Amino acid sequence: QVQLVESGGGSVQAGGFLRLSCTASRNTYGTFCMGWFRQAPGKGREGVAFISTTGSATKYSDSVKGRFTLSQDNARNTRNTLYLQMSSLKPEDSAMYYCAADPVPCSLSADKDEYPYWGQGTQVTVSS
């Protein structure tokens, strides 16, 4: 099991940037694939960025590709924080952002049902 806590959300103007953090209760290296999802009011939960257990592979949705970047702690033995650097933000990026974890065996899945562990979310609001 793993507990996840997101932070870093806030309100920014269009074109601005934010960095979200997801802190896990344990080292995720080699054990969990990680993902960021978002959900706007009245819409379904959308997967936006995913990283493999070792961090060697990432995948982004078309809606954020080139603007959002995933990163993790460099040290393998203390890898428990996942970051989502968001730049060139648009009003349509406004949503509650959730971190999720999928234990091995796992893939860079955009299907929210593949992820059994979720954080409580952090709100991102982008104004025009």
Residue 93 has which token pair? 């990026």
Whether 97 and 124 have beta carbons less than 8 Å apart is answered as yes
Residue 71 has which token pair? 């990163």
* Sequence-separated (6 or more) residues with CB below 8 Å from residue 66: none
pLDDT at residue number 73: 80
Side chain identity at residue 65, one-letter code: K
pLDDT at residue number 77: 67
Q: Is 78 helix (H, G, I), strand (E, B) or coil?
A: helix
> Splitting the chain (128 residues) into consecutive groups of 10 residues, what average pLDDT does each group show?
97 98 93 97 97 94 97 75 97 98 95 97 98
